[in-house]
Amino acid sequence: MSTTEIIFYPSNWLYNAGVIGLLRLLEATGYSVTNLFQDGIIIGDGICSYLERILLFEKSGVSEFPLDKLPKWHWYYVKTSFEWNYGSIADFVVDKLRKAKHSTDKSKLKEQIQLIKKSKGKKNKSEGKKSVKLTYENQTIDFDDINNAIADIWEKTFTQNPQYTLDEAAAEIIKLIRTKENFYIYRKAIGYLFSQDGFYQNLYNPSWFGDLNKFINLFTPDKVFSPASSSASICSFCSDSRFEVEPIDAKQMSFLFPVFSQFPNAYWQNNKKTVAQICSLCKFLIIHHHLALIRLSDKSEIFINAPSFQVMWYLNKFAREILGSASSREMRAKRTLLAMSVIEYATKIQTTLGVWTGMNIEVVSKKDDQIEFFSLPYEVIQLLSDRRIASLLNQIGELEILNQVLDQDFSGLMEVGYYLLRLGFNSSSKQTKLKKDKPANQKLRSEKNRRNPAEIAERIFEQHQNPTKTAEQIFKLCALIEEKRK
Ligand SMILES: [Zn+2]
């Protein structure tokens, strides 16, 4: 197979998310991805030859049999997917226990215990027909011992007179899982990705779940880079004819088409006619797309789409970091998250956003089967990607100020500066009086008042050590914005 001269060009968002997801996986294997970007595209030779190696020759690096037989890609695919969905083993266990604890549906809880017990009982009957196993060439790893022990702990935790606190139960269960941690990760991730309602549910037969060989053989270099038998067929995703294409099977790829019948209200902005076939490489790329999605607290999953892979790589990385450090008090609006990611990009990345700011940077938001696209106005992206403006906004560090910029309310911004300055010059006694005069119950403030420059200034004043300095920074910000808008 020839993988020379493959170039990845940004395409529809799903393809882009697939590429970014793949890059996340490659990075997890230790591959340096940041050198791959060239003017927004990716010269794929390096990636493709690396992929051929890790899809076949290089092994997982896991010591336990039979996971040591897994090629590197296979292991990192399940491992990064597990982490993407569950976090760590500890996160996973604590989350399950907490959900059970808070479950108001007690019958469901009972059902759960019955289910674990059932798999426990099966062992004695017919060699545990339905219990979870991993097989590789007639050798079997089972989870019966772990499941039995977990069922016991579970029962003793969720009962009238619990013998375990939630923390104790978590610690015990984590200890149990640790004894077969990697097997557990493998099995959970495969189930999660390919079972009913999973991301890629019809791509994989549920009866294959425990069979390591099935998983290995479904993703081999020959299948990923399957040479085209005719050069006439062009892939709808990458517009290339290098690899074998197949008609898009709406059922098999139901993950692509939650609303296939309602095109064009579907996953990407192309229309149904043009998205008719997919090549072997794109099919492979797309099964990484979940790794690029960022989960928000409103249960939506977002991806920042842009006309450059480098921009997408960093914006999504920053968005993930910002989200991770956000206090729960601040429910991040999608536009704020996007804006803050652009600010991070402008201040941290040496190459500027430059030409890309002229193009569309959008948030793709997926919630249940709904896909929404959302972007900041061109002028706003222009402002935020200016390094001086971005770093000033960072220094000021006030969401309210950022929101005013996003609203393009520049006269309001100026007013906030003036109010803040005036408050700063007031004597301390006057400040106290001013605070007293204001109603303490902030909840009563209407949305309109929250946007009032005087109110904003006051809130900043109450929270900032040096309001005069903040006022100066706001004036400087206004001057830079003025200059930029000329
Ligand atoms: Zn393709």
111-167: per-residue pLDDT in tens?
666 666 655 544 444 444 456 788 888 888 888 888 889 989 988 888 888 899 999
Give φ, ψ of 421 to 5 degrees.
Answer: -60, -45
198: Cβ–Cβ under 8 A, 6 or more apart, which residues? 191, 192
pLDDT for position 476: 96
User: Is there a domain that residue 10 lies in?
Assistant: no
Ligand 1 centroid to Cα of residue 318, in Å, is 28
- Residues 414 and 365 both lie in one domain: no
Structure token digits, residue 119? 């798999």
Ligand 1 centroid to Cα of residue 355, in Å, is 26
- Residues 380 and 414 both lie in one domain: no
Q: How confident is the model at residue 264 (pLDDT cuts 50, 70, 90)?
A: very low
> Distance of alpha carbon 196 from its chain centroid, rounded?
21
Ligand 1 centroid to Cα of residue 20, in Å, is 15
pLDDT for position 254: 60
Ligand 1 centroid to Cα of residue 320, in Å, is 28
Q: Please, are residues 224 and 280 in contact by the beta-carbon 8 Å criterion?
A: yes
Of 30-34, 370-374, 450-454, the one with minimum mean pLDDT is: 450-454
Tokens 């940004």 belong to which residue?
Answer: 10
Rounded to whole angstroms, the Cα distance separating 483 from 189 reads 52
- Residues 145 and 208 both lie in one domain: yes
Ligand 1 centroid to Cα of residue 309, in Å, is 16
Ligand 1 centroid to Cα of residue 49, in Å, is 17
Ligand 1 centroid to Cα of residue 281, in Å, is 6
- Residues 66 and 203 both lie in one domain: yes
DSSP calls for 322-391? HHHH--TTS---HHHHHHHHHHHHHHH-SS--GGGGGS--EEEEEETTEEEEEE--HHHHHHHTSHHHHH
User: Is there a domain that residue 36 lies in?
Assistant: no
pLDDT of residue 3 exceeding 70, the answer is no
E strand or H helix that includes residue 295: strand 294-295
Ligand 1 centroid to Cα of residue 12, in Å, is 11
Query: Residues 327-366: pLDDT tens digits?
Result: 544 556 888 899 999 999 888 886 666 666 667 889 998 8
Three-state SS at 247? strand
Q: Which of 342, 359, 385 is the last residue of a domain?
A: 385
Q: How many domains does the chain have?
A: 3
pLDDT for position 429: 47
- Residues 246 and 369 both lie in one domain: no
- Residues 380 and 481 both lie in one domain: no
- Residues 230 and 319 both lie in one domain: no
Q: Dihedral, CA atoms, 409, 412, 413, 419, nearest 10 degrees?
A: -170
Ligand 1 centroid to Cα of residue 43, in Å, is 15
- Residues 178 and 259 both lie in one domain: yes
User: Is there a domain that residue 103 lies in?
Assistant: yes
Ligand 1 centroid to Cα of residue 297, in Å, is 33
Range of the domain at 412: 395-486
pLDDT for position 127: 41
pTM of the predicted protein model: 0.86
Q: Which of 385, 410, 435 is the last residue of a domain?
A: 385
User: Is there a domain that residue 20 lies in?
Assistant: no
Ligand 1 centroid to Cα of residue 261, in Å, is 23
- Residues 418 and 451 both lie in one domain: yes
Pairing of strands 7-8, 301-305: unpaired
Three-state SS at 5? coil
Q: Which residues of 248-275 are buried (b: 16+ CB within 10 A; e: fewer)?
A: beeebbebbbeebeeeeebbbebeeeeb
Q: Once rounded to an integer, what is the mean pLDDT over residues 171-195?
A: 91
Strands (E), 143-287: 245-247, 277-279
How much of the chain exceeds pLDDT 70, in percent? 79
Q: Dihedral, CA atoms, 186, 188, 194, 200, nearest 10 degrees?
A: -90
Ligand 1 centroid to Cα of residue 234, in Å, is 8
Indicate the average pLDDT of the chain: 82
Structure token digits, residue 112? 């759960």
The DSSP code for 46 is H
Structure token digits, residue 421? 């300055």
Ligand 1 centroid to Cα of residue 244, in Å, is 9
Strand order in the sheet with 41-43: 7-8, 41-43, 37-38
- Residues 225 and 255 both lie in one domain: yes
Cα-only R_g, the chain? 27
Q: Identify the bridge partners of residue 135 per DSSP, sorted by sequence position.
A: 140, 211
- Residues 353 and 268 both lie in one domain: no
Ligand 1 centroid to Cα of residue 280, in Å, is 7
- Residues 347 and 223 both lie in one domain: no
pLDDT for position 328: 47
User: Is there a domain that residue 107 lies in?
Assistant: yes
Rounded to whole angstroms, the Cα distance separating 308 from 382 reads 16
Query: Residues 288-317: pLDDT tens digits?
Result: 999 999 988 888 899 999 989 999 999 999
Q: How confident is the model at residue 439 (pLDDT cuts 50, 70, 90)?
A: very low
Ligand 1 centroid to Cα of residue 286, in Å, is 10
Tokens 């517009």 belong to which residue?
Answer: 239
Q: Once rounded to an integer, what is the mean pLDDT over residues 11-39?
A: 93
The DSSP code for 198 is S
User: Is there a domain that residue 465 lies in?
Assistant: yes
Ligand 1 centroid to Cα of residue 241, in Å, is 8
